Structure 1
Amino acid sequence: MPMNLHLLRTFLTVVEAQNFSRAAELLFVSQSAVSKAVRELEHQLDLPLLERGGAEGKALRGVALTEHGRAVFEHARAIFALERAASEDVRDRAELRQGRLRIGASTTVAAYWLPQAIAAFARRHPTLELELVVGNTDEISRALIDCRVDVGYVEGEVADARIAASLWRTEALRLISAGDGVAARSKRMAASALAEQTWLLREPGSGTRQAAQAWFDAQGIVPARAIEIGSNEAIARAAAAGAGIALLPETVVADLVAIGRLRTIALLGDANAATRPLYRLELVNRPQAPALRAFLALDADSTAPRARQSKPGT
């Protein structure tokens, strides 16, 4: 049968206080209410819990337990110890002394946009566990829906009614090809010429792939040949080696452009000012935990790309 926890707590207090009147003081009730509660618990359990050699709280010196009473007392002590532990754990989490924050991010965001915020959060809350899950936009969206991450930062659009997506940042994209060792040099090409090139592309489901496809559609470009590579950094290195051309975030290619390993390409009559939005993802109607609220506050001040920003030549 279900056990009444209020009656059980009263019984535990009587045994620990070894006196009915003292238990009443601790519980802020009358002694008669304490006596009634213990008798009612015995009635509900159909077991005698106390040895009664006199009037409760008066003639008895201390409280003598029956064999059944000792068993119930041990159970009660374990139950309410667990309750205290749970209360302390919840309080520590609310006060950011304990807990875990799981952040999901697509590869470029994880590598270039989040490190400063993560470092600042770790310094401010050293007792909290922190995990960064990295994947493409689709993978991070699924992790959020499955509650494997608390918040997501992605490069691509997400169309799922369970997810609230808000604009977080906007980053520049650059068309790049192998450089000639001369920093900040660029060239111009017609869209028709670009279509004939070998393109280095991310896998489907990647935000960078989405951005590239949207740019192709806007320019009327259908690549003659494409090589699929699952990392923006790997694409940048492959482009520097002459494997093809690519449309990548400026944060990824800035250093290689600066030293002449890559050069930017501008369309004839175009300033090469392609951009893409970055999104923060949260589950609809899921309350923000204290750790997440603290991270979002830091994120507003601390997030900046890691790579040096360099302006491509004209």
Structure 2
Amino acid sequence: MNLHALRVFYTVAKLGSFSGAAEALFISQPAVSKALKELEHQLNIQLIERASKGKKLTLSEGGQALYDHARSIFAIEKAAIDDIKSRTGLKRGTLVIGTSTTIASYWLPPYLAKFCAQYPHIKVEVQVANTAQIEHALLECTIDLALVEGTPTEPHIISKHWQNDLMSVVIPSNFKPTKDLKAWLNEQFWLLREPGSGTLEMSVKLLAEHGVQAEQSMQLGSNEAIARAVAQGMGVALLPNVVTEDLVQLGKLTRLSQKNNEQLSRPLYQLHYKDRPSSHAAQAFEKSLFSE
């Protein structure tokens, strides 16, 4: 198989357009079309459903299968390049970490500080997004590893338990729950994260386990925004303790205690793409995550 033609196909499928692929690969649009026709002729299969003008390209069933294989092939290619570059004793290279806002703000900084002090010549980038977006970035090989809340939904992603994040239901300090706490919570207006967020997934799961449905709700884009909205009396929420600590100390929020002092928590996971070998920098950082 012609790897250049495969790369052209992969780029077209990833970007969704011939013109975008031509620009990304620094070749002409006719050259893109020619490479795709040659690949389809070689494989004797139509890879792309030609769309009418203005509509996004879609892959055929065979095209989707080839795209998945191509993604793995180019992930291994990138890993090989990164590995060779890193064999100077981690004196140069790049490590890209994908993570959620909460982990980036509260859990990650001490590990980053330690790693950067130990490997000052490694360039570290942190991409912050929700769990669904982080999974997509792993599959597209735009990040090396990830730290998220919740388990992955993609079968090509491997997860490893890292930490437990304590959570509590928080209410405005002037709210007075009734004795029937479950009934009272079911009557409240809930502030939740957006779809795709690991916090939303875990909040809904934990609340359901305790008989709370959160039928009246509003979605906000960050835990910090939710905490401040609760402090202003807009409703109640289930949030990580690390997010609400300052507002609790200031008396703006109250944490509700669970029966028998039960503690709510959510697991945090380290993720990597199973078809992509880890670079030396990624291996070193992963080792630091689990060394304490």
TM-score by length of 1: 0.63
Number of aligned residue pairs: 211
In 1, Cα distance between equivalents of 2:243 and 2:179: 21
Alignment-derived partner of residue 270 in structure 2: 280
Structure 2 residue corresponding to 1:247, chosen from 225, 238, 242: 238
* Distance verdict in 2 for CA 1:116–1:221, change over 3 Å: same
User: What is the identity, as a one-letter code, of the residue corresponding to 2:249?
Assistant: A
Range 147-156 or range 281-290, more displaced: 281-290
In 2, Cα distance between equivalents of 1:276 and 1:252: 14
Query: Gapped runs of 5+ residues in structure 1?
Result: 1-86, 303-314
Q: Indicate conservation of the 8 Å contact 1:105/1:134, yes or no.
A: yes
Asked if 1:230 is matched to 2:221, the reply is yes
Asked if 1:196 is matched to 2:190, the reply is no
* Distance verdict in 2 for CA 1:121–1:200, change over 3 Å: same
Alignment-derived partner of residue 41 in structure 1: none
Structure 1 residue 129, shift from structure 2 partner: 1.0
Structure 1 residue 219, shift from structure 2 partner: 1.9
Alignment-derived partner of residue 291 in structure 1: 281
Alignment-derived partner of residue 90 in structure 2: 96
User: What is the identity, as a one-letter code, of the residue corresponding to 2:200?
Assistant: R
* Distance verdict in 2 for CA 1:189–1:106, change over 3 Å: farther
Alignment-derived partner of residue 109 in structure 1: 103
Query: Gapped runs of 5+ residues in structure 2?
Result: 1-80
Asked if 1:300 is matched to 2:290, the reply is yes
Asked if 1:172 is matched to 2:166, the reply is yes
User: What is the identity, as a one-letter code, of the residue corresponding to 1:140?
Assistant: I
Alignment-derived partner of residue 156 in structure 2: 162
State the Cα deviation string for residues 175-204 of structure 1 (Å, max 9, x = none): 001125xxxx99965111101101000011
Among all aligned residue pairs of Structure 1 and Structure 2, give the percentage whose two residues are the same amino acid.
37
Structure 1 residue 276, shift from structure 2 partner: 0.8
In 2, Cα distance between equivalents of 1:144 and 1:94: 25
- Trace 1:64-79 onto structure 2 (pairs within 5 A): none
Alignment-derived partner of residue 8 in structure 2: none
Q: Indicate conservation of the 8 Å contact 2:248/2:254, yes or no.
A: yes
RMSD: 2.4
- Give the number of the structure whose alpha-carbon radius of gyration is greater: 1
Alignment-derived partner of residue 145 in structure 1: 139
State the Cα deviation string for residues 247-286 of structure 1 (Å, max 9, x = none): 001111112112211111235x453511111111011142
